[in-house]
Amino acid sequence: MTLPMAKLTLGPVLYNWPAEKKRDFYFKIADEAPVDVIYIGEVTCSKRAPFFSPFIPEVCERLEAAGKEVVLSTLALIMSKRERKELNELTVGSPWPIEANDLSAISLLRDKKHIVGPFVNVYNEGTLEHFYNSGASRVVLSCELPSASIAELGRTAKGREIEVQAFGRLPLALSARCYHARSHNLTKDGCQYICELDPDGMDVRTLDDTPFLAVNGTQTMSYTVNSLLGELQMLKTFGVTHFRLWPHDMDMVEVARIFRNALDNPEDSERSLGLLQEIVAIAPLSNGFFHAAEGFRMVE
């Protein structure tokens, strides 16, 4: 059996990083990281977008000059006329491929080549086939799918591109309310961009002080850091073609090198996991969803 060529991708930055920091991050990725596809764009909160937007053409040109494929990601929750207008402009005029993270974006991109992002739920074969037939060239699967479901969707894809979320805190839900602002006794409209204080999200603890989740503005995320490093070879046999790393405020170049090596040299997976654990200091690693267990668990 010939396995598909495994490509490593870097998802859009989900957190509120200063614009210059984000620009320099992408420059470093362009120059040093063994990543094939880079997603760029504001997914979480449209209020953040204007700060980084002026840098996008320069960043995209730098990435393409380094041989990377660039994809622009749309907002995951459209709630205002302004956001609808910006989405329309992006889908009509973008010189780069679009990752649609909302059904309204998919509607605008119908019959045009695009990517279905991870914020659009794809749980079954019929939904996957529908999106392919509507113009999707690649579908990013939901983070909570167990291995049996991924395998079934891989069979349905029949060689077409499928992407899984292989590293990073998992985006679980989005809300119209801003948890970050509320935690600082601020309103969403007057948030003062307080989420910038937490470059990897703000930890949430239970009443008995047990780490539970993380929040990022309007987004609920896993507390643990998902890692499918040990499952990469199995995923390749399922037909998965692309493996996504979510950016974090850590050495993402080294994270990319570890995953690239594990994809190419499966015999190094145990050593690679040890190296990854040394880099990830914000929370424990987990892979529970893949093994049909609680998401926060690490199944050996």
pLDDT, tens only, 42-70: 999 999 999 999 999 999 999 999 999 99
The C-alpha atoms of residue 205 and residue 167 are separated, in whole angstroms, by 22
CATH superfamily of 7-170+223-291: Aldolase class I (3.20.20.70)
H-helix segments, the chain: 19-32, 49-52, 56-65, 81-93, 103-108, 125-133, 147-157, 179-183, 232-238, 252-264, 269-279
Q: Which residues pair with 251 in a beta bridge?
A: none
Identify the residue whose tokens are 């602002």: 181
Collapsing DSSP states into helix, strand and coil, what is residue 208?
Answer: coil
Enumerate the domain spans of the chain: 7-170+223-291
Q: Which residues pair with 112 in a beta bridge?
A: none
pTM: 0.95
| Nearest partner of 296 among 174, 213, 179, 192, judged by Cα | 213
The C-alpha atoms of residue 60 and residue 37 are separated, in whole angstroms, by 11
Looking at residue 27, its pLDDT comes to 98
Looking at residue 196, its pLDDT comes to 95
The C-alpha atoms of residue 122 and residue 139 are separated, in whole angstroms, by 8
The C-alpha atoms of residue 67 and residue 63 are separated, in whole angstroms, by 7
Looking at residue 155, its pLDDT comes to 96
Looking at residue 3, its pLDDT comes to 57
The C-alpha atoms of residue 162 and residue 239 are separated, in whole angstroms, by 7
Looking at residue 1, its pLDDT comes to 46
The C-alpha atoms of residue 21 and residue 44 are separated, in whole angstroms, by 18
| Nearest partner of 254 among 234, 274, 240, judged by Cα | 274
The C-alpha atoms of residue 208 and residue 34 are separated, in whole angstroms, by 42
| Nearest partner of 38 among 64, 15, 70, 14, judged by Cα | 70
Looking at residue 271, its pLDDT comes to 83
The low-confidence residues of the chain, meaning pLDDT below 50, are 1
